[in-house]
Amino acid sequence: MIILARQQIEALMDYDLAAEQIEDAYRAASLGKVNLPPVGHIVLREHDGDCHIKYGHVEGDPVFVIKVATGFYGNAARGLPSGNGISLVMCARTGAVRAVLHDEMCMTDFRTAIGGAVATRLLSRTDCERITVVGTGVQARRQIEAHARLMAGRRLSFQVWGRSAERAGLVAQDLSGSGLTVSATEDLAGACRNSDAIITTTASSTPIIEHNWIRPGTHITAVGADAPGKQELDTELVAGADRLIVDLTSQCEDHGEVATAIRAGLVESDRLVELGAVLDQRAPGRTANDQITVADLTGIAAQDIAMAKMVVAAYQKGQGSGPE
Amino acid sequence: MIILARQQIEALMDYDLAAEQIEDAYRAASLGKVNLPPVGHIVLREHDGDCHIKYGHVEGDPVFVIKVATGFYGNAARGLPSGNGISLVMCARTGAVRAVLHDEMCMTDFRTAIGGAVATRLLSRTDCERITVVGTGVQARRQIEAHARLMAGRRLSFQVWGRSAERAGLVAQDLSGSGLTVSATEDLAGACRNSDAIITTTASSTPIIEHNWIRPGTHITAVGADAPGKQELDTELVAGADRLIVDLTSQCEDHGEVATAIRAGLVESDRLVELGAVLDQRAPGRTANDQITVADLTGIAAQDIAMAKMVVAAYQKGQGSGPE
């Protein structure tokens, strides 16, 4: 049995390999080839915490994965992160435990960022260079890193905006140090008006991005709204987009950005196209340079399975043993 | 984070401490103080396997527990056990992972055996000495060990019966070696007629024990029937018992021995008494020496929580650190 801690997992992180696995995960999910039972959930009322258990199996895979994620909202006051997590990689042939990945939620952060970069790479214009990033948390940083790696052939420059200008400045400072072109901005509307792509990563429950800031040809990847009640884009922007791409239609109909537009009667479900279908060329993505495209990503368990597989494969490669 | 493998867990096993924790678990479950969300379940059709995820929290406990158990029925042909398992002990205050217990199902075996011995100790006559054990698997062995430890003040002798006389002989031989009085029998009816208590541990789906073999004053602990469709006691025996004790009424109404009698219209649910209520003296157990008492135990997640807590406590005691 393999046991890996967070630092080991971070050191094994391979963006390109993870992106391949995550693209396969979107394809499999879109083809209905992922067995995903209902998410388990327990609330620990005494301590303002909860725990989600997501688990599933991709048809034909040698492993299945159980991901445990906790959120305890009193942790911040103790100087601890509110999120935590551990994943179990189980043999799909014998039921034995193959790996315990005590990632403390870093795998969730990675898979969300890579999902975003996969979507932007696929749906933005081929000359996309200027990207606005909304939010200053871990996910904003991870999105910038993932986009820079997965779109390495382009000359990307990032502008970061957050409610705290100071935090935005820190993100720019930290990431510029690692060779990326990242600056902070206090003018969100102006940044959006001059962007080829926009990535939203906040937990906002009221819209931050207005439709009249968005010029034709812009792509938007929205990863912040992962639960009912969260919204980063105004409803007109979603309703007016030329292409609406989602990670999983059934989930986005009541979780993400498009859910609000559907409830308002401004978007019909049949307009939604799954990312896996576009990756598979079963459905078109962007079909013209002046289209506004929106990728609404709520995060799916198939991505968690993909990340866990990537980490175990990278570990085994380092040990000189083959997969399985 | 504590990580323990099967051998370490077996070495930490403390029957008396586990029995105390498991009695508390029955009490808490019976008082509705255990938060037990629905059991998670995934089927791996390609390999004739499945996986259950049981999780829960006892009100006021510093930890909650997630138990993963797999059953892969093609393993036997490969010389592997069909069952496997791992438990996660999580901090109920912060959500952090406190312990990973890779018990490979031994904790489930222990908690089932201790539950059985707790019931027999509580419900059999005070002069109970002769015990018949039905079945020759791991659980038969564990039940004998647990009864011997928890009823150490009595002069217990065990007779083991199984469909295979050879396997029954092996159980007797192996356990006699460890200082217990254990013999094999090929006459199940005769053994039952001369027993003070009977423990059934098989996965039978047709009754093995007939009501006309059971004399007044006998106690029966039935742990084999843990799923709908399993039955070890004939329906007349269950219906005619003077006291029907269950681990969890809601579960036993459609899982265990009494479920069959209820479906046949021979037992009303209001006759069922929970073990936790008897332990708490909120309900009577045996009230006369000539009563036939039946304990129908289907196994509850609160026992798994109790076992995991006991193992972590024993480990921490050995390390010289206090609980939490």
Question: Is B46 an 8 Å CB contact of chain A?
Answer: yes
> For chain A, what percentages of helix, strand and coil (3-state, to nearest 5) are there?
40, 25, 35
In a domain, A324, yes or no: no
Q: Do residue A88 and residue B71 have CB atoms under 8 angstroms apart?
A: no
Of B35, B40, B49, the CB nearest to A53: B40
> A3, A50, A93: best mutation site toward chain B, by most B Cβ within 10 Å?
A93
Question: Is B55 an 8 Å CB contact of chain A?
Answer: yes
What local confidence, expressed as pLDDT, does residue B270 receive?
93
In a domain, B225, yes or no: yes
User: Quick one: average pLDDT of B132-159?
Assistant: 96
- Coil, strand or helix: which one is A163? coil
In a domain, B265, yes or no: yes
Whether B84 and B214 map to the same domain: the answer is no
| Residue A70 Cα, gap to closest chain B Cα (Å) | 5
Cα separations in angstroms, A317 against A60, A313, B38, B91, B175: 21, 6, 38, 34, 46
In a domain, B112, yes or no: no
| Residue B138 Cα, gap to closest chain A Cα (Å) | 19
What does the alpha-carbon distance between residue A304 and residue A210 come to, in Å, rounded to a whole number? 32
Whether A146 and A262 map to the same domain: the answer is yes
Whether B135 and B51 map to the same domain: the answer is no
In a domain, B97, yes or no: yes
Whether A130 and A21 map to the same domain: the answer is no
Q: Do residue A42 and residue B35 have CB atoms under 8 angstroms apart?
A: yes
What local confidence, expressed as pLDDT, does residue A322 receive?
56
Whether B96 and B145 map to the same domain: the answer is no
What local confidence, expressed as pLDDT, does residue A225 receive?
74
Query: What is the amino acid identity at position A196?
Result: D
Q: What CATH number corresponds to the domain at position B16?
A: 3.30.1780.10
> B33, B94, B108, B304: best mutation site toward chain A, by most A Cβ within 10 Å?
B94
What local confidence, expressed as pLDDT, does residue A177 receive?
79
**Cβ contacts of A94 on chain B, cutoff 8 Å:** 47, 49, 72, 75, 78, 80, 84
Q: Do residue B66 and residue A53 have CB atoms under 8 angstroms apart?
A: yes
Using an 8 Å Cβ cutoff, are B307 and B18 in contact? yes
Whether A123 and A260 map to the same domain: the answer is yes
**Cβ contacts of A96 on chain B, cutoff 8 Å:** 70, 80, 84
Neighbours of A186 (CB within 10 A): 11
Q: Do residue B1 and residue A102 have CB atoms under 8 angstroms apart?
A: yes
User: Quick one: average pLDDT of B57-69?
Assistant: 96
What local confidence, expressed as pLDDT, does residue B229 receive?
79
Minimum Cα–Cα distance from A100: chain B residue: B100
ipTM: 0.88
Q: Do residue A51 and residue B35 have CB atoms under 8 angstroms apart?
A: no
Give whichever of A176-180, B70-74, B183-187 has the largest mean pLDDT.
B183-187
Question: Is B180 an 8 Å CB contact of chain A?
Answer: no
Q: Please tell me the pTM assigned to this model.
A: 0.90
B95 phi/psi in degrees, rounded to 5: 85, 0
Pairing of strands A243-246, B63-72: unpaired
Whether B206 and B266 map to the same domain: the answer is yes
What does the alpha-carbon distance between residue B147 and residue B160 come to, in Å, rounded to a whole number? 14
Of A37, A49, A94, the CB nearest to B95: A49
What local confidence, expressed as pLDDT, does residue A324 receive?
47
In a domain, B118, yes or no: no
User: How many structural domains is chain B composed of?
Assistant: 2
Q: Do residue A100 and residue B100 have CB atoms under 8 angstroms apart?
A: yes
**Cβ contacts of B88 on chain A, cutoff 8 Å:** 68, 86
Domain that holds residue B91: 2-107+302-319
User: pLDDT confidence of B321, banded at 50, 70, 90?
Assistant: low
Of A8 and B253, the structure prediction assigns the larger pLDDT to A8
Q: What CATH number corresponds to the domain at position A234?
A: 3.40.50.720
- Coil, strand or helix: which one is B156? coil
Q: Do residue A42 and residue B64 have CB atoms under 8 angstroms apart?
A: yes
What local confidence, expressed as pLDDT, does residue A224 receive?
84
What local confidence, expressed as pLDDT, does residue A252 receive?
84
What local confidence, expressed as pLDDT, does residue B324 receive?
47
Whether A99 and A141 map to the same domain: the answer is no
In a domain, A112, yes or no: no
Q: Do residue B95 and residue A40 have CB atoms under 8 angstroms apart?
A: no
| Residue A22 Cα, gap to closest chain B Cα (Å) | 21
Q: Is the pLDDT of residue B41 over 60?
A: yes
Whether B87 and B231 map to the same domain: the answer is no
Task: Give the orientation angle of helix A301-319 with respect to helix A106-123, to 10 degrees.
Answer: 110
Using an 8 Å Cβ cutoff, are A223 and A112 in contact? yes
Whether B144 and B86 map to the same domain: the answer is no
What local confidence, expressed as pLDDT, does residue A191 receive?
98
What does the alpha-carbon distance between residue A209 and residue A235 come to, in Å, rounded to a whole number? 10
Average pLDDT of adjacent 10-residue blocks, chain A of 324 residues: 96 95 96 93 93 95 96 92 95 97 96 98 97 96 97 95 96 91 98 98 92 98 83 94 94 85 93 97 97 95 95 91 55
> B6, B66, B67, B108: best mutation site toward chain A, by most A Cβ within 10 Å?
B66
Q: Do residue A49 and residue B75 have CB atoms under 8 angstroms apart?
A: no
Token pair 């010389």 is at which residue? B79
In a domain, B119, yes or no: no
Whether A129 and A96 map to the same domain: the answer is no
| Residue B253 Cα, gap to closest chain A Cα (Å) | 24
Whether A71 and A188 map to the same domain: the answer is no
What local confidence, expressed as pLDDT, does residue B322 receive?
56
User: pLDDT confidence of B257, banded at 50, 70, 90?
Assistant: confident
